[in-house]
A and B are shown apart, each in its own frame.
Chain A
């Protein structure tokens, strides 16, 4: 119970600091709005099942604020329906990437020796392999259509960069007096990693998680755009891919059809970057202007 309470108090403090940081707060509001729209929106505005041939590629109007697509369906409604999968994949990938990177990176720094050498070499080689091409191969050949499978593949590709940074952080934290004290007291590796070192890295990990999410958004929409993963369901990447392949991109009246998914993606990415930037300032007392 006490841990839960302590966590809630910490969360409250962080949110308070976040509210003072305009950039972070703005990012948070945009992000929460997008999440809200993607999860609650579809319940209020159900998906259109029929195409309306009389309303193909319309410009913005009261009835269709963002215009219509090649089937005469409302762009805004599609944007509302298309965010959920992207958010889910981004979030799962972010968590998995961070988990793998933190575990391997800190173990590598902490254990040292042969394990560290092998990990460092593996990370170096992994980082040299062209990521997007490899991702394209994996996604196509495994015929990815499942949210979890795609997230796992993305995480397996994305962890090395973060692991290297975590390793460097742990190496420097390891030198601190309180960690040396814990080592001398023989408190055990799990205790030292999770109770002494991790709490000092939480802010860093939170920010890395957000950046891992932006990376995942880029990669998954890229895959969908190139048609390398099955085009099914509502998804901003699918929307843009269709807009591109059906020639909406060359039609003046179809502007909304292209700009709606582009804007949605850009807004989601920006909100995450703003939030990460703000968090950096919140967590780093030296960057903080007032407390």
Chain B
């Protein structure tokens, strides 16, 4: 197990390194730069002034040097300054991150709470109405993009129940947990819906596989109640692929969060990134993407660890 963990931890670093290079290259290959975007919209500057600005922000240096400067400062926790506002990027990201993280965690909890029970039921009662309904649910979750879902939720709430989802000021969880959860409930449902469908599908197929195994028959043969066989024996083994899917998809939730934050007007890192993109603010975009990628890799690492704990074949290796 220790070898497995060390391998995973070692693979973490080159992956992040690779991501940072790819993002840096993509940002620099694109036509135009932050200075153009800054100057183009507000003032007319002379060539000399533009050159001075370029020099000030370091855009005149050769690319490998720019990358090196950015990388070494990023390692010290300095993600640079926003070209627009002049504020350091990392504190801005960290200030917005709790909201996005909370949204992702809530969505994951909702998705697991819906996906696993329905998946187990569908597998146990295969080809029954529950199974058919569950499969239909999974299909809809797969086919409907999450912003349609978000729009539909707003629509149903506002039209049928006359409540408008809160799109005013965001309340911090620490200040008022209940108001905060009220605000995040529908965004989290939106984000979690598609996710619950994929968890349900994985749970169903994985449970079907386990229910067929010899050990399940043995457990039934020695007189265990069906419930004990399903939960205590089969689900425990079926959890292994489910954990992998949860880990992978939680990473994707950060991508989905961008759209959901926009739809529900929540000030998370998704909206921050969108604004950064619109203003061509290199430091913000680079920093945010690296930050999201870092979380993605970290979550996968945690999933790998959970996987190792759930799977005795790795645990006792």
> Which of B22, B145, B256, B274 has most chain A Cβ within 10 Å?
B145
Known: A138-B26, A225-B259. Contact between A262 and B152, CB under 8 A? yes
From A121, A130, A141, A270, contact of B292 by CB (8 A)? A130
CB distance from A190 to the nearest CB of B (A): 30
Q: Is B15 an interface residue (CB 8 A)?
A: yes
User: Roughly how many angstroms separate A171 CA and B254 CA in the complex, as a whole number?
Assistant: 33
A240 to B148, CA, bound (A): 9
A51 to chain B, nearest CB (A): 23
A249-B151, A269-B144 known; A131 vs B278 contact (CB < 8 Å): no
Contacts of A178 in B (CB 8 A): none
Decide: A141 near B32, CB < 8 A? Known: A129-B23, A228-B277: yes
Stretch at the interface among B66-74, B76-84, B154-162, B183-191: B154-162
The docked-state distance in angstroms from the alpha carbon of A218 to that of B141 is 12
* Chain B residue nearest to A141 in the complex (CB): B30
**Interface size in chain B (residues, C-beta < 8 A):** 48
Given A130-B293, A228-B277, A270-B139, CB of A125 within 8 Å of CB of B22: yes
Contact with A along B234-275 (1 / 0, CB 8 A): 000000000000000001101110110011000000000110
Name which residue of chain A comes closest to B144, CB basis: A266
CA distance A217 to B143 in the complex (A): 10
For the complex, count residues of A whose C-beta is within 8 A of B. Answer: 41
- Contact among B22, B148, B263 with A129 in the assembled complex (CB-CB below 8 Å): B22
Contacting pair A129 B145 (CB below 8 A): no
In the complex, the chain B residue whose C-beta lies closest to that of A274 is B139
How far is A218 from B26 in the complex, measured between Cα atoms in Å? 23
Please tell me which one of the listed residues A133, A221, A226 contacts residue B288 in the complex, with CB atoms under 8 A apart: A133
On whether the beta carbons of A142 and B19 are closer than 8 Å, the reply is: no
B148→A265 contact, CB < 8 A: yes
A134 close to chain B: CB less than 8 A: yes
- List chain A positions with a Cβ less than 8 A from chain B: 121-122, 124-126, 128-134, 136-138, 140-142, 214, 217-218, 221-222, 225-226, 228, 240, 244, 249-250, 252, 255, 258-259, 262, 265-266, 269-270, 273-274
**8 cross-chain CB contacts under 8 A:** A122-B18, A128-B251, A129-B22, A130-B296, A131-B252, A133-B288, A137-B285, A244-B263
